[in-house]
Amino acid sequence: MGDNVASLAEPTGKRPKPISADLFERLLALGSVLLLGAVAVALFKGRAEWSAVPWQVWPHLATIVVALALTPVILLRRRGDHKHRWLGRIWAASMFLTALLSLNLKLIHPGNWSLIHILSIWTLIQVPLIWWSARTHRVTMHRRTVRGMITGALLIAGFFTFPFDRLLGHWLFG
């Protein structure tokens, strides 16, 4: 096995070598930048309607912007150092809060639960697992879980905030 593979076994006490971003992680970083750009453009284009937006939407948008902005930074820079751990904590907290706040948004617009809300519940379960796997130096598990979270709860869920005349889609394409 190569240097980029770590074990899920109990940690040995020594820190694993930092892992550099692979092609998939570079694509995830690019997807995060593109989605952040789309959110920024949508927010700018929709500024005339900001006063009509329920207050609960703004903290949700703020936390997702933090997660989107930190994703490429965390994926593309050196891993395992003090800065990576702090940025990871902020990212994990923003993902957790985004998911929690999305459940509150459901109260504004009652109706059927969507895939995005299922992803929110999944995120509330996965974020503590991400934190635990990092704290216990289970690098492979941590990396796999983070990549899944970015793919599903950040990028796929983020993509689905634009079609179907949802707020950001209305602002971006309207």
31: left (phi over 0), alpha (psi -120 to 50) or beta: alpha
**Cβ burial, residue 59 (10 Å; 0-12/13-18/19+):** middle
Domain boundaries along the sequence of the chain = 23-46+53-173
How does pLDDT run along the chain (174 residues), one tens digit per residue? 444 444 444 455 566 566 789 999 999 999 999 999 999 999 999 999 999 999 989 999 999 999 999 999 999 999 989 999 999 999 999 999 999 998 887 655 566 666 777 888 999 999 999 999 999 999 999 999 999 999 999 999 888 888 867 899 999 998
d(CA 98, CA 39): 15
What single letter denotes the amino acid at residue 120? S
